[in-house]
Amino acid sequence: MTHKILRLPDVREITGLSRSSIYLRIANSEFPKPISLGGRAVGWLESDIQNWLVERIEGSREVG
């Protein structure tokens, strides 16, 4: 199985969230945590971001 790593600009583009919103949601355990790529570099698994998006879509379509 291959894993695709997304860097912050890609995550921002896919989610529509700003950098500060992403890190605030991470701090509140509302967004997937990044993985360390070494040094000061981090990235997110594409599958984690896609799963997070699916959860948001399903949650927004739930009936009262």
Tell me the fold of 5-60: Recoverin; domain 1 (1.10.238)
Encode pLDDT of 1-60 as tens digits: 789 999 999 999 999 999 999 999 999 999 999 999 999 999 999 999 999 999 999 988
Does the model's pTM come out above 0.85? yes
* pLDDT for the residue 8: 98
Phi-psi region of 16 (alpha: psi -120 to 50; beta: other; left: phi over 0): left
Grade residue 62 by pLDDT with cuts at 50, 70 and 90: confident
For residues 10 and 20, give the distance between their C-alpha atoms in angstroms, rounded to a whole number: 15
What is the DSSP secondary-structure string of 22-42? HHHHHHTT-SPPPEEEETTEE
Please provide residue 35's backbone torsions phi and psi, each rounded to the nearest 5 degrees.
-110, 145
Grade residue 61 by pLDDT with cuts at 50, 70 and 90: confident
List the chain domain ranges: 5-60
CA 20 to chain centre: 13
